[in-house]
Structures are given as structure tokens and as C-alpha cells.
Chain A
Amino acid sequence: MAKRRLIGSRVSAQVALAPALLIALVIYCGSTLWTLWISLTTSRMLPNSVFVGLRQYEVLASNDRWLASIVNLAVFGVLFMVAALTVGFLLAALIDFRVRAESLFRSVFLYPFSMSFIVTGLAWRWMLDPTLGFEKLLHDVGFADAHFNWLVRPDRVIYTLVIAAVWHASGLVMAIMLAGLRGVDREIWNAARVDGLPVWRILVFIVIPMLRGSFATAFVLLATSVVRLYDLSVAMTNGGPGIASEVPAKFVMDYLFERGNLALATAAATTMLITVIAVVAPWYHWQGRKTHVGAAH
């Protein structure tokens, strides 16, 4: 008789998972495929089904605005990640030396992360204002020839985004690193010091390799935020001057909603998607192996 049948409450479990399932299938997978499909058509203001293969990607590859935004993002990404990881790790390592008022320092370094990119962007835009901001401060204290007008210089504007973003995210890196450092066994410090190693050597050769999980996590979080970079650019420079601080996410939004070129916008979005997957997949694989969930209980 006993054909396999679901034990009663299992049905409730599936009902409860229905929203998540719906979101995963329809919204996530469905939207991704839809976006992918539009990028293979000639859609402009409205979507159509004229299949043109990868032609939009060729167009994209010769679009100055897109190329500029990619270069900008690459410059921003490298500088921002190196700076944020360095500053964040340095702050965490120093705080870990049993400093006084540790929690005060931590609060100060982390609070920018609680604020939005819009707030961050506007605050820094005001401080870096070429007429009334820091440049004026420099003039006032006697450096009449000093220039700090990066915000309006096409060749420098991207660095202002880096400064603001590092200010925003270093605390996050610090928090992740600090948690990692606190996980390093005291015994290791003691053993290394008994061996007579100087502190910096212990940090560089013993502790940092042990923190590779924390570095990986911070790296992935920062990297995905780089690809998503949008609000900050909108608030701080709105892509300008000219297209000097355009970024891919903003490119997609502009072509979707203002320039009415759906196919090109979705091709750009798909390119972003592939970039993110290239970053996340190795990390996810590594994490998955580390925290594998047992098959049964």
C-alpha cells in the first residue's frame, strides 16, 4: 500500500517556501533571462523580438561612453579596493594592539558605512567644492597657488570618488578584519614571540595568511559594490564633468530610462552580470566547500 506520500507538515513547508520560490524563479531567473534576451534584439524604446545575435555587444564595444565608464570603473575599482583593504586592515591591526578607547575608535571608523552613498557623495562634493571647499581653505592659510579642484578636472574626478568611497567602506573592512584577528588564537602570538619574531613579521607572515578568509570576504563585498557603483557617482558628479566619471551602472540606467535604448542597456547589464559572476563564483565555490551543509539529520 504505502506509496511514498508527503508527510502532512511537509506540505506546509512547501507552501511557506512558495514566495521565495516565486521570487527566485520568476523575479531572479526570469528577469535575468529576459534581460539577456532583450540584449540580443534591436529593442529601442520598446522591447521587440528582432534577433540580432551579439550585435548590441559589438555596438557597446565601440561606444565611447561605455568604454569610458569601463575604464573609469577599472581605475576606481583597483584604487578603491587596494586603498580600502589597506586602510581597513591597518586600522584593525592597530586597534588589535590593545589600544585605549578601542570601542570609540571603532565607532568612528565604522559610522560612515551606516550612511547612504547619496549622503556620502553630497558631503564630499561640498568639501571638495573647487571654490568654497578645501581649495579655499588652502588659499586662506597662505597657499595661494594651491589647487584642489579635482571635482571639475576630467583627469582627476575619478579620484574624488575613490576618496569618498574609501571613507565610506574602510570601516566595513576594519570590522571584518577585526573579527578575523580576534579569531586568531592567542597561542600563535605567544608561540611566535617565544620564537623571537618581531611584531611586523608575525603580522605579515603568520597572521595575514590566517586571515585569508576575512580578506576574501572583504574583497568580494567591495568588488560587488564596485560593480554596483551608481548612487555615489550620481550624487557627487552625476557622471561629469562630461563623461569623466561615468560608470557602467549609470550607463545602464541612462540608456534604459532616458536614452531609450533597451537593447544596448541590457547588453551592458549582461556584461555587468558576467563580471560579477566571475568574481563571486570562485569565492562561492570556496565558501561552499568550507561550510558544506550535511545532507541529513
Chain B
Amino acid sequence: MTAMAQPNGRRPKRLSAGRIGLYAFLVISALFFLTPLYVMLVTSLKPMSEIRTGNILALPAAPSLAAWNSAWSSACTGLQCNGIRVGFLNSIRILVPSVMASIMVGAVTGYALSFWRPRGAQLLFATLMVMAFIPYQVFIYPLVRMFSQAGIANSLLGIVVVHTIFGLPTMTLLFRNHFVALPIELFKAARVDGAGFWRIFIQIMLPMAVPIIVVAIILQVTGIWNDFILGLVFAGRENLPMTVQLNNIVNTTQGERTYNVDMAATLLTALVPLAVYFLSGRWFVRGIAAGAVKG
């Protein structure tokens, strides 16, 4: 990731004792932060015999992708032995429409709240902001009932709607903050030019919101991919997302635990957010800063 701004603080002098200590602390911390990733990786490349006898930090004697293969295509969740592949595909099927729907609703809401401010807009915004903090447990039961009344319980549509609902506060905040920072005269000029609500949104505001859309995509992709509880409750048995499948695989193992397969499956599940994180670089940090209220 590139720098957020000019570094503050003191210009480094020659390597003083203080700076050696500083680097030592940072390096040790970095090792602490990297250890779990390293351990997961080496474990997933070892056979079980080596895991039982060897050292958890040791490199694999003969790295093998067998555990990855089995995690992907033959690990068991309960009676099904189709690997985490199923969860991966489910997660993708949940992710794509959920990301699109939540961003669309959030962008339109943020735009309407920032430029148009109809009656009650402030109240609506305040409600959304408060709701961003409330634990899901407060909403879950009534939502389950409402969804089964509406016939979308335990369905792909249901989980997409749920992600749109719970993504709304963050997405609205993100887009509202972006639009509020634009010069209001731009909006007025477009009004004098005769453009209406949707035309201003699509032809003038959306082209200016590309960076914030990228941030929104990053936030939503990682957020929805990492979700566990909503997928568990709303997706239904057929559509369980990868996180839920992963937990099932690890927790329903009969007999001896296959740690190598578990870790391979865990890494597979972490792959998408990790890729988003390392590819997006400073955008990820921007997302954190912009959506400081995380849903």
C-alpha cells in the first residue's frame, strides 16, 4: 500500500539505540501477525503423519497439495462429501447480486439524502446510522418470520435481501458523505439545465462517484464474503455460504481431525478477501476510513 500522506514525526537519524529498538519491536510484531498465516499454509501442505510427529512451525518435508485437493472437492459436511467447493460457489452466487443490490440502493439513498433532502430525510438518515450499530440478534427472529410470510425464507433471494438491508447504513453513509462534499452548485446548474432526479444521478453524479463505488465494492465484497450468521440463518441449506460450510467441515469431522484439510479449507475461504485486500491496497484503508461505521 502506498502512503496515505506525508509522514509525520522525526527524520531518522543514524541508527540509534532507539531506532534499533523500534525496528525490533515492529519486526517482532510483524512476525506475530504473520504466524497464523504461515502456520495455516505449512499445515495445509503437510500429510497428517508429519503433523502428528513434527513441529507446528516446521516447513513441510515434502509439500503436497493433497489436502487442498481434498478440501476443495471431497471434504465432508455431515453426510455430504463434496468439499468446500459447494460453499465457494454458493458464496459467489450470494456475493454478486448482494454487492450490486446493496450498492445500488445505498447510492440512490445517499444521493437522495444529500441533494434532495425531502421531508424527514434527516430523521431517516439518523435512524440508519443508529441501526448500523445494533446487533443482528435484535432483528433476526422478526426477519425470519417476515421472510417466511413473504415466501423468501431459506432462499438465495432471501439472503440477498438481507445483505441489502444490513448493508444499507454503511452504503448510504459512504455515498451521502461523498455527494455532500461535492459543490451544491453543480446540482443547481443541472436543475436549471432541466435535468430531473434520475438524469442528474445517472449522467452527472454517478460518473463522479467512481472512486467511492470502488470503495463500496471492496467493503461489500469482504463484508458479505466474511458473513457467517446471516448466511447461517437466511440462506437455507441449499445455499450455505463458504464460511458456514467451512465451520461445518471442521466441526463435523468424524474420528481423527484432519488438520491439513481443515487449514486448506480455511485458507481457501480466506482467499477472496485476502486477494481483495492485497490487490486493492490503499483503497481498503480508504474503505475503512470512509465507512468508519461498519454495518
Q: Footprint of B on A, CB under 8 Å? A: 8-10, 12-14, 16-17, 19-21, 23-24, 26-32, 34-35, 38, 47, 87, 90-91, 94-99, 102-103, 105-120, 122-124, 126-127, 129, 132-134, 136-137, 140, 167, 170-172, 175-176, 178-179, 181-182, 184, 186, 189, 193, 199, 217, 220-221, 224, 227-228, 230-231, 234-235, 238, 248-249, 252-253, 256-257, 262, 265-266, 268-270, 272-273, 276-277, 279-280, 284, 293, 297
Contact B285 A105 (CB under 8 A): no
Q: Which residues on the B side are within 8 Å of A116 (C-beta)?
A: 225-228, 243, 269-270, 273
Residue B209 lies at the interface, judged by CB distance under 8 Å to chain A: no
Residue of B nearest to A114 (CB): B277
- Evaluate whether A24 and B285 lie within 8 angstroms (CB atoms) in the complex, with A189-B9, A273-B134 already known: no
Interface positions of B (Cβ within 8 A of A)? 1-12, 19, 22-23, 25-26, 29-30, 32-37, 39-40, 43, 51-52, 55-57, 105, 108-109, 111-113, 116, 118, 121-122, 124, 127-131, 133-143, 145-146, 165, 168, 172, 180, 184, 191, 196-198, 222, 225-229, 233, 243, 246-247, 250-251, 259, 262-263, 266, 269-270, 273-274, 276-278, 284-285, 288-289, 292, 294
Chain A interface mostly: helix
Of all chain A residues, the one with the shortest Cβ separation from B292 is A217
B7 contact from A96, A117, A124, A221, Cβ within 8 A: A96
- When distances are taken between beta carbons in the complex, the residues of chain A under 8 Å from B229 are 230-231, 253
Other A-B contacts than A31-B141, A32-B134, A114-B274, 6 sampled, CB-CB below 8 A, are: A106-B285, A178-B4, A184-B8, A253-B140, A272-B137, A284-B130
B4 touches A182 (CB 8 A): yes
25 of the cross-chain contacts (CB-CB < 8 Å) are: A13-B197, A17-B124, A20-B112, A24-B124, A91-B26, A96-B7, A99-B23, A102-B3, A105-B30, A107-B1, A114-B273, A114-B277, A115-B270, A115-B273, A119-B269, A122-B247, A123-B266, A126-B43, A127-B39, A167-B33, A189-B8, A224-B135, A228-B135, A231-B228, A235-B228
Q: Is the CB of A270 within 8 A of B138?
A: yes
Cβ-neighbour of B141 out of A109, A122, A262 (below 8 A): A262
Q: Is chain B's interface secondary structure helix, strand, loop, or mixed overall? A: helix
List residues of chain B with CB within 8 A of the CB of A221.
292, 294
Chain B nearest CB from A163 CB (Å) reads 10
Q: Are A175 and B277 in contact (CB under 8 A)?
A: no
Which one of B5, B33, B143, B251 has the greatest number of beta carbons of chain A within 10 Å? B33
6 nearest CB pairs, A to B: A116-B226, A12-B197, A13-B116, A114-B277, A31-B142, A34-B142
- A167 x B133 contact (CB < 8 A): no
B289 with A127: CB separation less than 8 A: no
CA distance A182 to B138 in the complex (A): 38
The smallest C-beta distance from A109 to any residue of chain B, in angstroms, reads 6
Check A238 against B26 for contact (C-beta < 8 Å).
no
Q: How far is the CB of B185 from chain A (nearest CB, A)?
A: 9
Minimum CB distance partner of A109 in chain B: B33
Q: Contact at A20–B139, with CB atoms within 8 Å?
A: no
Determine the distance from Cα of A265 to Cα of B2 in the docked complex, in whole angstroms: 47
B262, A122: Cβ atoms under 8 Å? yes
| Residue of B whose beta carbon sits closest to that of A30 | B142
Q: Which residues of chain A are within 8 angstroms of B2 by Cβ–Cβ distance?
A: 103
Within 8 Å CB of A269, what residues of B?
Answer: 135, 137-138, 141
Q: In whole angstroms, how far apart are the Cα atoms of A42 and B4 in the complex?
A: 55
